């Protein structure tokens, strides 16, 4: 960006730095300053607005403290504001102001969205009716803090057949979301634990890890998945990876690297691998990719899974499988916490799985998502010299590498002007160095099939194709 | 206790300290060593078992590290193992071993239990059916991270009318349990924050606070509630209190102390009061006690509430009302976390509240619990020279001060031998000094009305009355 045309008023009672701060904040929250935009240097902006550099600095620092802006050493200030990225606002109950803003959004390619049109409401309702019954009155009381045993049995059964994960119900902990489980997990490691995370990667995990005092190092990702060649000589002892389907690139971690990672973990007692198998249900071609946990004979892999993609993100049911030493620690340190998931919901889900509805739903959704992905690829085909599709074999999103002269920020901005929300790769990175060539993470799952063509074509048009 | 008759085997390959450790652990987990029991001194046990003091020390240290035992300066080692206290195991799906143990329990006076016989299953099911519907398909997607706006509206309305709490839906955060909300809250305070907690008090909170690096100080409790006379000169800047109905004593915090506490908080920016209004719905005599939050004009009270007592502990829906400066911090630091409560459940609860079912249910349950409490008091009346009832005006539990020559541990043990589970005051204390005269927390709510007489009479019999 060039400059910020902020009109400062010296005759009112608000300090200049605060006027500048409020102006920039508004520009960010209302979407006129896009994610990743570099702000003008303090010197240039001070010159332009005819104010002191200190005033600019105070405003920038306030924005940084509040998380709207991030400072990168020797590079300058960049617009952050992850918040908007975090969830798709579909609620009817937003404040009037937000509502107007959101109503304008015609298509939202958020990677966390799912298809909501094919959910088996009738079956789910039936199991809810069965469960909410006077005969089950003891379900009102607190249950097992690890989650209901019957649900853990169903999960263990599913994991074994679908993912090759070998575990007993006793090794599973059910919780209200991956974040909750991750926070519990972090309490099991000591304060000196050093984490390694894929970069780019799942930004929620990055953000949670960064809010702890522990050191966190980024691990680069290429076409074989996360690079592990230098992990031996690093200080890292716990890595967070998405081996079956890297988020967001979609790559599968190569067998060589899997072996290397497992060997690395086995070499030291305190080393562990957190495997987030977040959307492994949806693979459309080739053989199913086995989980890293299923290759691990040393008890070094913590397996994380969720029903966010396979059922609905709003259900808040996730699970983790702990290796024995960690389960022991969990029982000693954390078993006094109550379960974070409603017992009634756990029993509804148990029935849904036990009666075969879960498998049927997955089979149906695999077809729906494959059709959606094929449609996206088909529409993009004529533009293949300018738009490359990455990670097109699985998942609920794909990555577009766009090569038409526009940078990431411009691609996001142009789309936004056409009322389309898209999410740039750099928002999912610690190091912010994945901006060239520009990449867009395209969550296609939430767009209804009949609107998908229009949505993608409108996006291409907004980019000048 | 006198001595531990552990048979150590010098001819097997397990170190002596480990044999001793395993033996004591088993005694604790299988209920033969009750909560609060003092272990023999290291010297005495070493003499008795003819092993070195180092061996005993290593075993005791291992037990302490794992939380089975706690060491009190100049007093010795005491059996802890809170775990069993934490929830009533009513699940059908316990492992075979636990099941046998639990099946024997005829009456469980756990303070977290509720009456499960009068829950309006039909109405709840109706709202579940309404909510789980194709027309609500957007409920599958992620919602507002603070909780559904409509639910927060209902909570704000209820809090204003029932508790005098003035708040807007925007100031409420919904979460999957008080523990989750408390953990979020702790992230809003800095690392140097020093906490004060009522002692005795709600042990889950004590335990969570103690698992953080911050300093935690106990605050004594008398018949006027928590003692605040020395808080000014302490290092404490955040206190956790239960002013309407102290847990577990049941006392109401006096107006003098409320005023003092509020003034203390207002004197410094970083001071706050966490008010846990955990069962304020159930008061049977006298005027309703206003919340501390309603007396606070300075924005210093964080109000915590839950549906655990008023609906069911297994639903995992709680809420907190944040003062403005903390809400600002929450939005900056934590709004990227997803909500921890299922959106469908939030909408079921919204309808239940909006249609008046919640109020009707509370009115009905107030009568049920009052009848149960009156029954307990009536049965105990002939024994009033030996058993005093404390906190008999409200709540789902009462405290018995027992004066028949048995100590706390013996009372618990005698009841246990008669297959009755009761919970001693000392389990809810940081300082373990509330053992004389012995006090038992009697959660009467979970015992069916028709069994209550038998339960209390059996308990008295087990004590030799």
ipTM: 0.79
Q: Is the pLDDT of residue A82 over 80?
A: no
pLDDT at B251: 87
pLDDT at B8: 83
Show the tokens assigned to A38: 């570099």
Q: Is the pLDDT of residue A162 over 80?
A: yes
Burial class (CB in 10 A: 0-12, 13-18, 19+), B103: exposed
- Higher local confidence (pLDDT), A65 or B116: B116
Mean pLDDT of A97-110: 71
- Higher local confidence (pLDDT), B378 or B37: B378
Distance CA B395, CA B247 (A): 10
Angle between helix axes B53-65 and B42-49 (nearest 10 degrees) is 120
By percentage, how much of chain A surpasses pLDDT 90?
Answer: 59
Q: Is the pLDDT of residue B107 over 90?
A: yes
pLDDT at A283: 86
pLDDT digits (tens, 9 = 90+) for A213-240: 899 999 999 888 899 988 989 999 999 9
By percentage, how much of chain B surpasses pLDDT 70?
Answer: 92
* N residues, chain B: 465
* Interchain CB contact of A313 with B (< 8 Å): yes
pLDDT at A95: 40
Residue A423: CA count within 13 A, CB half-sphere: 29
pLDDT at A89: 30
Residue A286: band (very low, low, confident or very high) from pLDDT cuts 50, 70, 90: low
Q: Is the pLDDT of residue B84 over 70?
A: no
Q: Are A446 and B140 in contact (CB under 8 A)?
A: no
Q: Is the pLDDT of residue B293 over 50?
A: yes
Residue A106: band (very low, low, confident or very high) from pLDDT cuts 50, 70, 90: very high
pLDDT at A140: 97
* Interchain CB contact of B347 with A (< 8 Å): no
In chain A, the N- to C-terminal Cα span, in Å, equals 23
Mean pLDDT of A330-345: 93
Q: Nearest-CA distance from A403 to chain B in Å?
A: 31
Average of per-residue pLDDT values in chain A: 88
Mean pLDDT of A31-51: 84
* Interchain CB contact of A86 with B (< 8 Å): yes
Q: Is the pLDDT of residue B258 over 60?
A: yes
pLDDT at B96: 41
Q: Test B116 with A141 for CB contact under 8 angstroms.
A: yes
Distance CA A142, CA A336 (A): 12
Q: Is the pLDDT of residue B277 over 70?
A: yes
Show residues of chain A in contact with B204, CB under 8 Å.
336, 338
CA nearest to A68 within chain B: B332
- Higher local confidence (pLDDT), A385 or A58: A385
Alpha carbon of A451 to those of A425, A458, B24, B213, B306: distances in Å?
Answer: 24, 11, 66, 53, 42
* Interchain CB contact of B132 with A (< 8 Å): yes
Q: Test B89 with A128 for CB contact under 8 angstroms.
A: no
pLDDT at A70: 80
Q: Test A313 with B88 for CB contact under 8 angstroms.
A: no
Q: CB under 8 Å, gap of 24 or more: what pairs does A187-190 form?
A: A187/A333, A187/A334, A187/B211, A188/A326, A188/A329, A188/A330, A188/A333, A188/A334, A189/A238, A189/A270, A189/A272
Residue A37: band (very low, low, confident or very high) from pLDDT cuts 50, 70, 90: confident
- Choice among B168-172, B177-181, B433-437 with the minimum mean pLDDT: B433-437
Q: Is the pLDDT of residue B377 over 50?
A: yes
Distance CA A5, CA A19 (A): 12
pLDDT at A120: 98
- Higher local confidence (pLDDT), B8 or B385: B385
Q: Test B345 with A340 for CB contact under 8 angstroms.
A: no
pLDDT digits (tens, 9 = 90+) for A426-463: 888 877 666 788 999 999 999 999 999 999 999 999 99
Q: Is the pLDDT of residue B388 over 90?
A: yes
Show the tokens assigned to A420: 């389309």
Q: Are A78 and A69 in contact (CB under 8 A)?
A: yes
Mean pLDDT of B352-359: 96
Give the mutation candidate from A123, A189, A314, A351 for the B interface (greatest B CB count, under 10 A).
A314
Q: Nearest-CA distance from A260 to chain B in Å?
A: 33
Show residues of chain A in contact with B446, CB under 8 Å.
141
Show the tokens assigned to B433: 């000094």
Average of per-residue pLDDT values in chain B: 88
* Interchain CB contact of B458 with A (< 8 Å): no
Q: Is the pLDDT of residue A158 over 90?
A: yes
- Choice among A31-45, B178-192, B339-353 with the minimum mean pLDDT: A31-45
Q: Nearest-CA distance from A298 to chain B in Å?
A: 23
Show residues of chain B in contact with A137, CB under 8 Å.
116-117, 119, 121
pLDDT at A102: 56
Distance CA A285, CA B161 (A): 59
Q: Test A341 with B446 for CB contact under 8 angstroms.
A: no
pLDDT at B94: 37
CA nearest to A311 within chain B: B140
Which candidate, A63, A56, A61, A52, places its Cα nearest to that of A40? A56
Burial class (CB in 10 A: 0-12, 13-18, 19+), B73: exposed
Q: Test A179 with B140 for CB contact under 8 angstroms.
A: no
Q: Is the pLDDT of residue B195 over 60?
A: yes
């Amino acid at each position: 960006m060039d400059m910020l045309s902020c009109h400062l008023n010296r005759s009112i009672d608000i300090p200049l730095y605060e006027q500048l701060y409020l102006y920039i904040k508004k520009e960010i929250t209302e979407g006129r300053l896009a994610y990743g935009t570099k702000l003008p240097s303090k010197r240039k902006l001070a010159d332009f607005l005819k104010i002191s550099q200190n005033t600019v600095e105070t405003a920038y620092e306030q924005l940084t403290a509040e998380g709207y802006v991030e400072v990168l050493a020797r590079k300058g200030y960049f617009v952050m504001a992850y918040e908007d990225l975090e969830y798709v606002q579909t609620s009817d109950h937003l404040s009037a102001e937000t509502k107007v803003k959101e109503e304008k959004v015609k298509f939202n390619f958020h990677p966390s969205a799912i298809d909501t049109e094919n959910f088996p409401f009738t079956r789910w309702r039936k199991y809810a009716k069965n469960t909410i019954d006077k005969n089950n009155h003891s379900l009102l009381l607190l249950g097992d803090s690890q989650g209901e045993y019957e649900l853990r049995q169903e999960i263990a059964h599913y994991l074994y057949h679908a993912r090759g994960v070998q575990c007993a119900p006793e090794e599973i902990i059910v919780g209200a979301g991956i974040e909750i489980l991750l926070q519990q997990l972090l309490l099991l490691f000591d304060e000196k634990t050093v984490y390694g995370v894929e970069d780019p990667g799942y930004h929620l995990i990055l953000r949670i890890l960064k809010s702890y005092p522990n050191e966190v190092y980024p691990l680069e990702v290429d076409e074989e998945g996360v690079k592990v060649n230098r992990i031996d000589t690093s200080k890292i002892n716990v890595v967070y990876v998405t081996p079956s389907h890297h988020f967001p690139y979609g790559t599968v971690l190569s067998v060589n690297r899997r072996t290397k990672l497992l060997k690395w973990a086995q070499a030291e007692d305190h080393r562990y691998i957190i495997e987030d198998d977040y959307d492994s249900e949806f693979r459309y071609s080739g053989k199913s990719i086995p989980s890293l946990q299923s290759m691990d004979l040393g008890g070094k892999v913590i397996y994380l899974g969720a029903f966010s993609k396979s059922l609905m993100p709003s259900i808040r049911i996730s699970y983790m499988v702990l290796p024995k030493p960690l389960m022991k620690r969990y029982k000693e340190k954390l078993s006094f916490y109550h379960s974070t998931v409603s017992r009634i919901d756990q029993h509804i889900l148990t029935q849904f799985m036990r009666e075969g509805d879960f498998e049927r739903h997955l089979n149906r959704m695999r077809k729906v998502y494959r059709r959606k992905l094929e449609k996206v690829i088909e529409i993009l085909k004529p533009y293949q010299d300018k738009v490359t599709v990455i990670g097109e074999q699985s998942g609920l999103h794909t990555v577009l590498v766009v090569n038409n002269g526009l940078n990431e920020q411009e691609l996001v901005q142009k789309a936004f002007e056409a009322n389309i929300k898209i999410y740039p790769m750099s928002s999912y990175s610690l190091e912010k160095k994945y901006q060239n060539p520009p990449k867009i993470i395209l969550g296609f799952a939430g767009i209804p099939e009949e609107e998908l063509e229009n949505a993608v074509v409108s996006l291409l048009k907004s980019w000048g194709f």
